[in-house]
């Protein structure tokens, strides 16, 4: 069963007692009484499978906070099984908070995987890994590549299984920030975006619905093939230039969620990743040009 098989009314009532949502290797048990959580899930998670099992990896909840404050400054809180990793946020950022909370659950607990801070996309079984500093245009490029036919594995967390070294996907919505939102809207009419949350710590944030193709093959792992460091620069012609493997290794290790926590295993997995991948810098200004260059990447 998929989430879109439920009417919005059924979805809301299921969310009151908790709904089991499968995102790649993880099952989230999501509880909420907020209508915007139900609407956000209906819009962005429609093709995600619902699970009717008795086990969930993470039990999360987003709800409004009570108290007098709700009258003049309503707030939402995120709970991971009773634990609150964040301070409350304004009530209208509830859906973004659920997304951040779900990311937090994976990044803080899933140490079975080497977790890199990077977007991952796949074509013909080969994975493209894109680390990127904030503002480098990583999310925009990820969104455009996904809408252009690449399969999305993740826009934030690259999950590398410690046992087989392959990349596993979550296929969760892509988080777009500020100008990226309009750029992606203008890029293609097929982009389905959720309600924008304004004035968050990242500015305005809206989430992009993953493509059907990304959901259909969600369980299929991808073989690491390319590591690309994107950088958007006004007026730049789209082009790939070689990036040193040693520098790429250091960048990935220092931006990983759990590289040092994994100890020798982290080093071995990261080193195997470097061996398997070509490393590039990529500068661009126009998405259409960028997509053309990526089509030329040879497997």
Report, in Å, the least distance between residue 68 CB and other proteins: 14
Using alpha carbons only, give the angle 219, 222, 223 rounded to the nearest 5 degrees: 155
In terms of residues, how long is the chain?
Answer: 299
Q: Which of 119, 228, 262, 270 binds other proteins (CB under 8 A)?
A: 262
Residue 9: burial class (beta carbons within 10 Å; 0-12, 13-18, 19+):
exposed
Helices in 92-137 by DSSP H: which ranges? Answer: 94-109
Q: Which of 1, 17, 54, 275 binds other proteins (CB under 8 A)?
A: 54
Q: Which of 11, 12, 25, 148 binds other proteins (CB under 8 A)?
A: 25
Q: Name which of 33 and 109 has its Cβ closer to other proteins.
A: 109
Q: Name which of 17 and 54 has its Cβ closer to other proteins.
A: 54
With contacts defined by CB under 8 A, name the span among 111-119, 150-158, 215-223, 243-251 that binds other proteins. Answer: 111-119
Q: Which of 44, 110, 174, 248 binds other proteins (CB under 8 A)?
A: 110
CA distance 119 to 99: 15
Strand partners, 62: 32, 78
CA distance 251 to 277: 14
With contacts defined by CB under 8 A, name the span among 36-44, 106-114, 210-218, 229-237 that binds other proteins. Answer: 106-114
If one asks whether residue 2 binds other proteins (CB under 8 A), the answer comes out as: no
With contacts defined by CB under 8 A, name the span among 1-9, 149-157, 238-246, 254-262 that binds other proteins. Answer: 254-262
* Two tokens, residue 163: 């046992």
If one asks whether residue 216 binds other proteins (CB under 8 A), the answer comes out as: no
If one asks whether residue 164 binds other proteins (CB under 8 A), the answer comes out as: no
Q: Which of 109, 202, 233, 292 binds other proteins (CB under 8 A)?
A: 109
- For residues 33 and 3, the answer to whether their CB atoms sit within 8 Å is no
The end-to-end CA distance of the chain, in Å, is 35
If one asks whether residue 162 binds other proteins (CB under 8 A), the answer comes out as: yes
Strand partners, 227: 129, 279
If one asks whether residue 252 binds other proteins (CB under 8 A), the answer comes out as: no
With contacts defined by CB under 8 A, name the span among 172-180, 233-241, 261-269, 283-291 that binds other proteins. Answer: 261-269
Q: HSE on the CB side for 31, CA within 13 Å? A: 14
Q: Name which of 235 and 263 has its Cβ closer to other proteins.
A: 263
Q: Site residues for other proteins, window 56-95 (CB under 8 A)? A: 56-57, 59, 81-83
If one asks whether residue 247 binds other proteins (CB under 8 A), the answer comes out as: no
CA distance 89 to 83: 15
Residue 158: burial class (beta carbons within 10 Å; 0-12, 13-18, 19+):
buried
- For residues 131 and 227, the answer to whether their CB atoms sit within 8 Å is yes
Residues lying near other proteins in the complex (CB under 8 A) are found at 25, 27, 53-57, 59, 81-83, 109-113, 162, 260-263, 265
């Amino acid at each position: 069963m998929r989430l879109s098989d439920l009417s919005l009314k059924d979805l809301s009532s299921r969310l009151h007692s908790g709904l089991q949502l499968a995102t790649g290797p993880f099952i989230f048990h999501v509880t909420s009484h907020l209508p915007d959580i139900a609407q956000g899930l209906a819009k962005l998670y429609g093709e995600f499978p619902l699970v009717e099992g008795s086990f969930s990896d993470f039990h999360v909840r987003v709800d409004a906070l009570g108290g007098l404050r709700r009258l003049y400054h309503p707030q939402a809180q995120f709970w991971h099984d009773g634990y609150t990793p964040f301070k409350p946020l304004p009530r209208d950022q509830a859906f973004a908070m659920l997304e951040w909370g779900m990311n937090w659950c994976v990044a803080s607990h899933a140490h079975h995987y080497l977790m890199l801070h990077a977007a991952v996309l796949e074509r013909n079984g080969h994975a493209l890994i894109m680390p990127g500093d904030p503002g480098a245009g990583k999310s925009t490029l990820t969104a455009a590549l996904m809408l252009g036919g690449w399969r999305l594995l993740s826009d934030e967390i690259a999950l590398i299984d410690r046992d087989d070294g392959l990349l596993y996907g979550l296929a969760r919505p892509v988080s777009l920030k500020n100008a990226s939102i309009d750029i992606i809207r203008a890029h293609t009419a097929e982009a389905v975006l959720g309600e924008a949350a304004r004035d968050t710590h990242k500015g305005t944030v809206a989430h992009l619905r993953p493509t059907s193709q990304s959901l259909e093959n969600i369980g299929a792992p991808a073989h690491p093939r390319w590591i690309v460091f994107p950088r958007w620069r006004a007026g730049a012609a789209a082009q790939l230039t070689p990036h040193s493997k040693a520098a790429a290794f250091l960048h990935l290790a220092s931006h990983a969620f759990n590289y040092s926590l994994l100890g020798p295993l982290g080093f071995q997995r990261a080193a195997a990743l470097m061996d398997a991948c070509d490393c590039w810098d990529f500068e661009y200004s126009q998405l259409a040009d960028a997509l053309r260059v990526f089509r030329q990447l040879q497997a």
